[in-house]
Amino acid sequence: MNAFESGPGTEPPGYSSDQLRLFRRLVRPFYLKMYLAEGPSEADPHAALRFRRKLVGAGSKITAKQVRLMLRGGGWREMTMGAWFALAVPADEVRDTVLEAWSVANRHSVDALTTASVLVVGPDAIPAMRLFVTRSEVRGDLGWAEYVSAAIVYLGGSPPVAPSPQMAASFEESLGIATDLRGDFQARRRRRRTWSTWS
């Protein structure tokens, strides 16, 4: 059982009620609908726009401490949203935790963690990403092995698996979406700081 899946009266040892409330506020409303941000051209445009506004609004308020808590939350849902929200806070405050997350990452969280690692950590993420690809359960899933390897190539590293052109294109498309989202997060946070200054 992880923090996200637990409910009142079933909290696992080590999780406080404040942590559980955080997961329910920043994980549950978003993780199943991230396809609206990841592939907006394939979704209803009005739904995608509403979701993006909600996501960016949450990202404008989140703290680096909360992002670190999600990345260490013990489940793929928390890690996925922690990786996305890592784009909303100063990189130097979460980069070490993004790197640590590779040691427990799985195929459910690897998409968001890969793009976050490229944007937040950069080439220093290559060793952790290479180690992930060489894990036995990942080698058996060629799709994810190629996806992460495409990111390694993008960062200038030598990949354990040669990514296909299609997978390299898929990664670069995902990276573009993540880059745009990071820009929206940062713009919204700047506006919040401006409003705070003048209020």
pLDDT tens, residue by residue, 149-172? 999 999 999 999 999 999 999 999
| Nearest C-alpha neighbor of 19 from the set 60, 70, 54 | 70
Whether 108 and 80 have beta carbons less than 8 Å apart is answered as yes
Which pLDDT does position 198 carry in this prediction?
Answer: 59
Position of tokens 């980069």? 95
Q: Residue for token digits 């907006």?
A: 40
**Rounded Cα distance, 60 and 54, in Å:** 10
pLDDT at 50: 92
39 or 96, greater pLDDT: 96
As a whole number of angstroms, the distance between CA 135 and CA 12 comes to: 28
- pLDDT value, residue 51: 93
Q: State pLDDT tens for residues 99-132.
A: 999 999 988 899 999 999 999 999 999 999 999 9
Please report which confidence band the pLDDT of residue 189 belongs to, taking 50, 70 and 90 as the band edges.
confident
- The pLDDT value given to residue 10: 41
Residue-wise pLDDT tens digits, 4-47: 444 444 444 456 777 788 888 899 899 888 988 887 667 788 88
What's 99-158 look like in SS3?
HHHCCCCCCCCHHHHHHHHHHHHHHHHHHHHHHHHHCHHHHCCHHHHHHHHHHHHHCCCC
Among all chains, which residue has been given the structure tokens 């939350």?
A: 73
What is the predicted pLDDT for the residue at 40?
A: 66
- For helices 17-26 and 76-85, angle between their N-to-C axes, nearest 10 degrees: 70
Reading the block at residue 147, the tokens are 């996806």
Residue 27 DSSP symbol: T
Other Cβ atoms within 10 Å of 74 Cβ, number = 18
Confidence at residue 142, expressed as pLDDT on a 0 to 100 scale: 74
Q: Is the pLDDT of residue 190 over 70?
A: yes
Question: pTM for this structure?
Answer: 0.86
Which residue did the predictor score with more confidence, 179 or 36? 179
